[in-house]
Amino acid sequence: EGLTVGRGHSLDTAMRYQQRIDAVNYAMENDDGARVNHYDPAQLILIGVSRCGKTPSCLYMAMQHGVFAANYPLTDEDLESGQIPKPLQAYRSKLYGLTIDPQRLTAIRNERRPNSRYANISKCEDEVRLALSLFERNGIDYVDSTHVSIEEIATKILVAKGLREHMR
């Protein structure tokens, strides 16, 4: 009783599904600082050094929770200035940082570019130290992604940014 054959999903389910699809498309279009002039729709912008987990975290939050998340890699220039990069300054309230253990970062980067300056341990240590300094100086909350699953990273960020309503 009460079941309608062929009815399928409710309108609410269809709307949530479409929200997740739109969020995934947004995350992919706004990956790695690709479209710095398109941050208005973002609910969240992850920042951190290259290879610390920004992209998978954004895609997970989009797919699982329908969150519009962009990400921006902190460059050597950004890190040396110690300031929030210009394209992000108007979106300070949307920023959330990711950090990582320099040893782990070196291992990840060595898989991508073996024996390069990019993967050098002292470069990784410097980048991580400067990123943490930038986060702390500018009051940007952050999470260490070294020993934490993408699901845990997402939960911490969504709770911290007041986006719990997306956690269904």
Residue 33 is predicted with a pLDDT of 85
Residue type at 142? Answer: Y
Q: Which of 4, 45, 36, 12 is nearest to 142 (CA)?
A: 45
Q: How high is the pLDDT of residue 28?
A: 94
Cα–Cα dist 50/112, whole Å: 11
Give the residue-averaged pLDDT of 75-101.
96
* Bridge partners for 144 per DSSP: 99
- Band of residue 81 on the pLDDT scale cut at 50, 70, 90: very high
| 6 — pLDDT class (breaks 50, 70, 90) | low
More confident residue, 58 or 7: 58
Question: Which residue type does 70 have?
Answer: A
Beta bridge partners of 143: 98
42, 30 in Cβ contact below 8 A? yes
Question: 101 phi and psi, to 5 degrees?
Answer: -65, 130
Q: Is the pTM of this model over 0.85?
A: yes
Average pLDDT (1-22) is 74
Collapsing DSSP to helix, strand or coil, 100 comes out as: coil
Q: Mean pLDDT throughout 58-62?
A: 97
pLDDT band at residue 128 using 50, 70 and 90 as cut-offs: very high
Q: Which two tokens stand for residue 56?
A: 């998978």
